[in-house]
Amino acid sequence: MLFFAPHVQKVASKAAASLYALRILTAHSLDGQALWEVTQATLVAQLLYASSAWSGFVKSEERTKLQLILDKASRYGIYQRISEPLPSYLNHQMTSYLIHSVINNPDHVLCSLLPPSRNTGYNLRKLNHGLSLPTVHSITA
């Protein structure tokens, strides 16, 4: 069984240290776009490092713990809030970016793992990927 509570705790403590450092930079008159870029490069990067690998396994309270750090950064004025919670928003962005880069680049190392392109012969609406999905046969007991 996988437990990600220790990992989330470690990430949260590192992010808290980054949050303190960002508040010090704010006190020394770093603001605007420069502050946003430093926040993205430190705090947000720490929270999302390899999150596409572990985000599906964390519990909702652990996800909330990470979101609370960003909420605190937003209250301090060092992070610009977006409409959707950041971890799910950026994971979706990163995943769709990876999929589109693999599909659009035939020389990509993962391109050989994609299923063949689908050609139905019908004039249907365009799908995002246009690949044929494999058929999975389940065993019923």
pTM above 0.85, yes or no: no
44 vs 126, residue with greater confidence: 44
Angle at the Cα of 93 (from 87 to 98), degrees rounded to 5? Answer: 125
> What SS3 class is residue 71?
helix
State the pLDDT confidence band at 32, using cuts at 50, 70 and 90: confident
Q: Where is 32: in which H helix or E strand?
A: helix 32-39
Q: Is residue 75 part of a domain?
A: yes
Q: Is residue 32 part of a domain?
A: yes
Q: Is residue 126 part of a domain?
A: no
Q: Is residue 121 part of a domain?
A: no
What is the number of structural domains in the chain? 1
Q: Which amino acid is at 24?
A: I
118 vs 70, residue with greater confidence: 70
Q: Is residue 53 part of a domain?
A: yes
Range of the structural domain that residue 9 is part of: 5-84
Q: Is residue 97 part of a domain?
A: no
- Reported residue count of the chain is 141
Q: Is residue 41 part of a domain?
A: yes
Pair of tokens at residue 25: 């930079």
Q: Is residue 36 part of a domain?
A: yes
Distance of CA 126 to CAs 68, 119, 120, 131, Å?
Answer: 39, 11, 12, 11
Segment 59-102, tens digit of pLDDT? 888 888 888 888 888 888 888 765 555 555 556 666 677 777 88
